[in-house]
Amino acid sequence: MTIPAENLAFKMQLKPGHVEEYKKRHDTLWPDLAEALRGAGIYDYSIFLDEDTLSLFAVLKRRPGADHDAGFTALPLQPVMRRWWDYMADLMEVEPDNKPRQWTLQPMFHFD
């Protein structure tokens, strides 16, 4: 039996001149952050760059279930997540608490 996944998509904004550094930091993602993401039920997470606008488009899949829902809701409160936001804040548009500014993207089409 296949458990259906929840797909989430959102947009973020990179600051000019930081493309290479953004990629470098994500290429060396901290193991404890990866573990926190997995604990929140996230198993597939991609970020794409529009080089003309420096918009970042993120798509993630997460497993459904009460344990994962609680982990996903608590993710912004985890110290490793807060450290990551602080680490990335100089590269992208952020909220006052350094959380990346996010704009939710609405699903328009899916082909399976």
Give the domain CATH number at 21: 3.30.70.100
Q: Which of 18, 26, 68, 110 is catalytic?
A: 26
In a domain, 110, yes or no: no
In a domain, 111, yes or no: no
Local mean pLDDT, 10-residue blocks, the chain (112 residues):
74 98 98 95 96 97 82 92 98 97 92 83
Structure confidence at residue 33 (pLDDT): 98
Number of separate domains in the chain? 1
Nearest Cα neighbor of 56 from 1, 105, 4, 7 is 105
Structure confidence at residue 6 (pLDDT): 87
Give 101's contacts (C-beta < 8 A, 6+ positions apart): 12, 13, 92, 93, 94, 95
Instruction: Centre a 10 Å sphere on the Cβ of residue 27 and count the other Cβ atoms it contains.
Output: 7
In a domain, 16, yes or no: yes
pTM to 2 decimal places = 0.89
In a domain, 54, yes or no: yes
In a domain, 109, yes or no: no
- 26: annotated active-site residue: yes
Structure confidence at residue 4 (pLDDT): 59
In a domain, 89, yes or no: yes
| Parent domain of 35 | 6-104
In a domain, 25, yes or no: yes
In a domain, 112, yes or no: no
